[in-house]
Amino acid sequence: MSQTTPTPHDPECVFCRIATGEIPATIVAQDDHAIAFRDLEPQAPLHVLVIPRAHYQDVGALAHGDPDALVAVTRLAAQVAADENGGQFRFVFNSGPQAHQSVFHAHGHVIGGRDMTWPPG
């Protein structure tokens, strides 16, 4: 079951540590609720991760626990895509191990800068 109560900061979570500045990252945008930073292993010319500042396990938990934060994450993703790729992007949330979620802090991948194929994989 997904965690729906936010943990302001999980000291074991790499994304929480990025959000607080403990771990350096290339930040491209941020606001009071979300932060966007470049993926270390980009899969496209534009590949940015957008996370809520509060710790939620996955996007379902975020949507249930703080829909306003999910809106903020989505808004920041659109801003990054507008700033870096003319507003064109794919926004992907992997939720759970079978979907290849590897960091269990809700995060969306802003992917663009090349033609996207369908189905995605």
Q: What is the 3-state secondary structure (H, E, C) of 8-38?
A: CCCCCCHHHHHHCCCCCCCEEEECCCEEEEE
Rounded CA-CA distance 118/72 in Å is 27
Rounded CA-CA distance 119/20 in Å is 36
- Picking from 80, 13, 15, the residue whose alpha carbon sits closest to that of residue 45 is 80
Catalytic pick among 55, 105, 107, 109: 107
Rounded CA-CA distance 45/53 in Å is 25
Residue 107 bears catalytic tag: yes
Rounded CA-CA distance 91/33 in Å is 18
Residues that are catalytic:
107
